[in-house]
Structure 1
Amino acid sequence: MPAAQASTARTGPRVNLAVAEAIAGIALLSVMDAIIKGVAARYPVIEVAFMRFAVGAVVIGAILAVVRPGWPSRETLVVNGGRAILVVSTATTFFYALSTLPLAETLALSFLAPVFIAGFGALILGERIDRRIVGALVAGFVGMLVIVSGKAGGGSLEGSALTGAIAAVASAVTYALAMVLLRARAAKDPVVTIVALQNGVSAAILAIPAAFVWVTPTAADAMLFAAIGSLGVIGHLLLSRAFAKAEAARLAPLEYTALVWAVLLGFVFFGEMPTLSTLAGAALIVGGALIASRR
């Protein structure tokens, strides 16, 4: 077998596994987003973000005790600690958007992230963007525009909703940069170490601001916060493993599959009926994701 064919044979299953892990991780994080939308109506956004990472730190700490990846290097601490600032910015802006917008619309606006991921991947990591990935990104971006134009045309994208929309777009930029930096470190650091620092450092950054706005959770809400932290850790572990196996540009369009979950969860738990523009945009988005994930 020629060397090129042998390399492709080895790479194919690896990329396919990365795609499966990314889709599963995105599904779990979508469920987490739905729970966050529910509790954000009762607690300050800063507290919600702190609890998400504090519980996540406990969960990943238990995993570290079993896996024992070894102590992180100074470089690992500095780089991943700096990345945690981006993670905090992403969480707080996105959670605010969730508190002011319907779940599906929040996810739709955040779908600018794959465009930025592909761009940052090319600029920072020197990754190649082929025509198939460009086509998938364009299809997803057009789908997002269809959804947003439907909301704007209906006059529902104004006031606090407009502030939430701006926050959602801002979170897309910081999320994209954080995920590309994740891929840059995933080849050097154990995935569990990356996720542990992401949760631990983020919780430490948010601890003092959260103390000033603290509202003691009820027993039922404490369970929801436990679920949020657990889903966040498992989802990001899966995404971290995926980004360690495949190029950021290839995985970026898979972010669009979150819209399917957002529409379903928004309808079931919040009574948010998807509009025709949302469904049309979702069709474009999912189609683009499927094209990009095929070899």
Structure 2
Amino acid sequence: MTRHATAIRAFGVAAGGIAVYSAMDAIMKGLSIASGAYAAVLWRSLAGVALLAPVYLARRRPWPTAAALRLHLARGATGGASVVLFFWGLVRVPMAQGVALTFLAPLIALFLAALTLGERIRRAAIGGSLVASLGVLAIAAGQVQARASGDMVLGSLAILAASVLYAGSLILLRRQAQAADPLEVALFTSVVLSGLLLLAAPRFGAWPSASQLPSIGVAALLGSISAVALAWAYARAEAQVLAPVEYTAFVWSALLGWLVFDERVSPYTVAGACLIIAGCLVAIRGPSPGPQTEAAL
């Protein structure tokens, strides 16, 4: 299979993973409304470990290397904080608006790569960030026009913070996916997340009701399928190739928000999402720049 064909296949698998993850988002929003985001993420993560661990053990895979374990720990911690903040915010804002704000993550990842990997920030990235900033302002204007409550504003700020952390997890995912197979990535990310959340479970956690168990199981299954799909795709294509697939989540979130929560998508949210997407596409176009040299500093 040619490199181009592999990239197309990876893009398709990633698109499927995003669709599945969007369905999980809708279930998790319902669980977060009922029990709180912390408890919902905790029980979904534990259910994910219960689903994936038997499969991993049955394959008799070797224990992860020390380097892979460090990546699993780093991404589990970063992604875990991002997920809790995201679902805490999603309880307070419409799904489409919350997902639109997460589209900043690929753009933020470019700047994080400059800080952590020594890559030069290109003019396109700066221009793209300005366009995307207009998108955030458009969404904020929609909140002002709708006289959004303090809770909705806090929810939007939490999702923006989650986007920064998610950007970091995207950089780690690329390295993680190259160091381990997709099943290992999905399992150990859930293991790390579950372990960290259990530390504060006595204070912030809550036992799920019997009626919530099926939803937790389905959310864990969908989350595991999505995690494996995305890890598989990121192992076979560059992040800049797969970044645009994240934007398909807006369509799914708008549809599911309407069907499940009777949410309406405002023109401000649509305009903001389009500007953020345009900014990200401007920023990631063209070849990746090389690392900085002393002469360039």
Normalising by structure 2, we get a TM-score of 0.84
Residue 246 in structure 1 maps to residue 241 in structure 2:
no
Report Cα offsets for 1:5-30 as digits up to 9, x if no partner.
xxxx8210111112112211111111
In the alignment, the residues of structure 2 paired with residue 104 and residue 80 of structure 1 have an alpha-carbon distance, to the nearest angstrom, of: 30
What is residue 278 of structure 1 aligned with on the other side?
A: 269
Pair 132,28 (structure 1): closer, same or farther in 2 beyond 3 Å: farther
Structure 1 residue 190, shift from structure 2 partner = 1.7
Residue 186 in structure 1 maps to residue 177 in structure 2:
yes
The one of 201, 205, 212 aligned to 2:192: 201
Give the alignment of 1:56-67 within 5 angstroms: 56-67=48-59
Pair 280,214 (structure 1): closer, same or farther in 2 beyond 3 Å: closer
Whether the 8 Å CA contact 1:53–1:229 is kept in 2: the answer is yes
The one-letter code sitting in structure 2 at the alignment partner of 1:245 is R
The one of 8, 16, 33 aligned to 1:24: 16
In the alignment, the residues of structure 2 paired with residue 119 and residue 274 of structure 1 have an alpha-carbon distance, to the nearest angstrom, of: 30
Whether the 8 Å CA contact 2:36–2:88 is kept in 1: the answer is no
In the alignment, the residues of structure 2 paired with residue 55 and residue 236 of structure 1 have an alpha-carbon distance, to the nearest angstrom, of: 14
Structure 1 residue 127, shift from structure 2 partner = 7.0
Structure 1 residue 135, shift from structure 2 partner = 8.3
Report Cα offsets for 1:233-288 as digits up to 9, x if no partner.
11111111111112222222321211111110111111111122233445556778
Structure 1 residue 232, shift from structure 2 partner = 0.9
Whether the 8 Å CA contact 1:183–1:248 is kept in 2: the answer is yes
Pair 118,19 (structure 1): closer, same or farther in 2 beyond 3 Å: farther
How many equivalent pairs are there? 286
Give the alignment of 1:21-100 within 5 angstroms: 21-100=13-92
The one-letter code sitting in structure 2 at the alignment partner of 1:61 is A
Pair 169,288 (structure 1): closer, same or farther in 2 beyond 3 Å: closer
Give the alignment of 1:97-246 within 5 angstroms: 97-125=89-117, 142-156=134-148, 158-246=149-237
Percent of matched pairs sharing the same residue: 32
In the alignment, the residues of structure 1 paired with residue 147 and residue 155 of structure 2 have an alpha-carbon distance, to the nearest angstrom, of: 15
Pair 154,12 (structure 1): closer, same or farther in 2 beyond 3 Å: same
Of 78-87 and 28-37, deviating more is 78-87
Does the residue aligned with 1:187 lie in a helix, a strand or coil? helix
Pair 281,219 (structure 1): closer, same or farther in 2 beyond 3 Å: same
Pair 173,284 (structure 1): closer, same or farther in 2 beyond 3 Å: closer
Normalising by structure 1, we get a TM-score of 0.85
What is residue 251 of structure 2 aligned with on the other side?
A: 260
Report Cα offsets for 1:134-187 as digits up to 9, x if no partner.
88877766555433432233221x411121111101110111101111111221
What is residue 3 of structure 1 aligned with on the other side?
A: none
Structure 1 residue 47, shift from structure 2 partner = 0.9
Aligned alpha-carbon RMSD (Å): 2.9
In the alignment, the residues of structure 1 paired with residue 57 and residue 168 of structure 2 have an alpha-carbon distance, to the nearest angstrom, of: 29
Structure 1 residue 83, shift from structure 2 partner = 2.1
